[in-house]
Structure 1
């Protein structure tokens, strides 16, 4: 099992209710080298002088950092593979990819080695591994959780988010990265059902049944600008990635796939990048307008089953996740009971800016309707002495 890049010693005492947190190795932990899953970065790095800012609440709550988890090199790929640091085995379906780039954090949670995993999400890197491993992942609103001390892929898209076994655990993770945050008092009143061409009809049926079981009011919605988002997002990721990491191009210890991405980023002109940023603003306005008509949106997280670990080339893993990174809005991926599928179908709920509270309230309502059991660590972890 290639889950961990670094393991930390367990606490001397193991108090009841201690929350175990796995940290993606793109997030600084004081005194530890951050590798970002790349040999070149590891070999140039020195131990972090301080924790990433997003870990302040984790420390204040007295949670235990179990270790730093593996990831795809430089956070680039949604597959979850890493030829140097190792690819974590999907515990739900060992013949299928674990999803990435936050693969180790999702697998650690799915195996019960951590209660909460922290990951980063630029095009789906929290939600995709959560979906592949049958757990819950929450992409937060862009800019909500500080990214100081976090390895940048594309700074105008990168966010931090928690992974957990169910929605209550994800809510507990949200409490850790934003102390004082709370779940909304009621779920969404109206759900916009978004259907994207190419998604598995059988998975769509599972999602429709879950929304009905929860008694949610559902109406069909469309986002006409959807198909134009992919080129826009690719341009921004490539351009920002190259501009942040020009010294890594052709460097020893950078894999050929990532090196190719760096070369593609170098070809993104300032004019092309500015055009993409302008197109992003139009897309954000479209999504905000749709979320003015309904409380949240619902669609699958993946277009189909996670691909086999031996046959994933060309799989459109980010097709249903990346457009919401471009919009900057929060999104929750949660598994649904779905017998007959190799891994549970993952429902993606998308909320308005700063609507994580509503997403979690709605996800909890769906879990209750589907009789998903409560977690051992429900709610927000208590701070020491409480």
Structure 2
């Protein structure tokens, strides 16, 4: 197991005194630019073949301006193309809540640093689950904001129609402080009036995992007593997953194509395989996936009018073991994507709430809301912590 920080780097920048995050420390996933330091992207050739940034990423600057102190840059899956947190070049950050098990990726180092208590909060990115999954596996609060809400300047892209900046915290109060700064919105306001429970998502999760988060769900029902069960994806969650696994890799290939064709960089086999397969995706498959995305967006608009939240498992199981054979990893990734694909397809805000364990390993409950209702989700997490 390795440190959560990128090997060979040392970064520390004090925040502006007197801001709302004064006294807090944070780390930044190595997809965020920090002026004067390479952005490595989890790949040994990316930093070498691309210029050193001269400006901080928007999210890094916002945290510094608010008073938080940057204490390091954290490991990511290669160019964010992973969901388990294992990097063949830089190592697997420790999951302190489940040693010997993956931290989740691709924001693996950021989640690990917060879970270990090395920093109070950390920046990650979420395209296909890369904040939500490590939050669940490491027992943290984590958020995927409304797609398009935050300025992504200085954040290495993967699939722009799905990319978001997110963040982690160990406790709801810190999570709310950071959220208020990055969402640029006060967290105060009404709690949700209605709760939808996604029965197909609970049904897809391992039975033991669904049972483990039921106590949190029961607390949520006390907080929001007007609740009902609904099917989240009438077409099938696996159909949504297939569509996202078509669209996202194709966009990733377009993002990295020039670099790959120009510089022939090194990749782990699974990453290279994914890019090659994406490059060969037929146009007909892309068209089909775009139509499914349109269906998914319409369905979630219907399920999540203002004042409504939806509850579902963040991941179908707790953190798997590290260093599994590739065939096992492929099956695990596919299952995780089934419960994460809606994020990239529809762009609704989602938070993962800790508090449950399965065989001693954390597992999270997720809440979704209408686009733009990010602060309501944070308020709900705060209120739920006190029940």
- CA offset at residue 14 of structure 1? 9.9
What's the RMSD between the two structures over aligned residues? Answer: 2.2
Partners of 1:93 and 1:212 lie apart in 2 by 25
1:342 corresponds to? 360
Aligned to 2:300: 287
Match of 1:19 in 2: 24
Residue 379 of structure 1 corresponds to which residue in structure 2?
Answer: none
TM-score (ref. length: structure 2): 0.89
The alignment partner of 2:364 has SS state of strand
Alignment partner of 1:344: what SS? strand
Match of 2:196 in 1: 192
Note if contact 1:127-1:137 (Cα within 8 Å) is conserved in structure 2.
Answer: yes
**Residue matched to 1:352:** 370
Distance 2:279 2:212 in 1: 43
SS of alignment partner, residue 317 of structure 1: helix
Judging changes above 3 Å, is the alpha-carbon distance between structure 1 residues 194 and 59 closer, same or farther for their aligned structure 2 residues? same
* 1:204 maps onto 2:223 in alignment: no
- Size of the aligned set, in residue pairs, is 367
Equivalent of 2:228, from 211, 215, 219? 219
> Which string of whole-angstrom CA distances, capped at 9 and with x for unpartnered residues, describes residues 2-37 of structure 1?
311133236599999511111000111111111110
Higher mean alpha-carbon deviation, 215-224 vs 287-296, is at 287-296
CA offsets per residue over residues 132-153 of structure 1, 9 Å max, x none? 1111110001000111211111
8 A Cα contact 2:16 2:22, kept in partner: no
Q: CA deviation at 1:248?
A: 4.2
- What's the counterpart of residue 339 of structure 2? 320
SS at match of 2:383: helix
Distance 1:280 1:302 in 2: 21
1:253 paired residue number = 266
Residue 333 of structure 1, CA deviation: 0.5
| Contact kept? 1:122, 1:159, Cα under 8 Å | yes
What is the TM-score when the length of structure 1 is the normalising length? 0.89
Q: What SS does the corresponding residue of 2:386 show, helix, strand or coil?
A: helix
1: CA distance, partners of 2:128 / 2:253: 16
2:290 is aligned with 1:277 = yes
Alpha-carbon deviation of 1:75?
A: 0.3
Counterparts in 2 of 1:211 and 1:56: CA distance versus 1, 3 Å: same
Q: Secondary structure at the match of 2:361?
A: coil
Contact preservation (8 Å) 1:70, 1:104? yes
Between Structure 1 and Structure 2, which shows a larger proportion of helix residues? 2
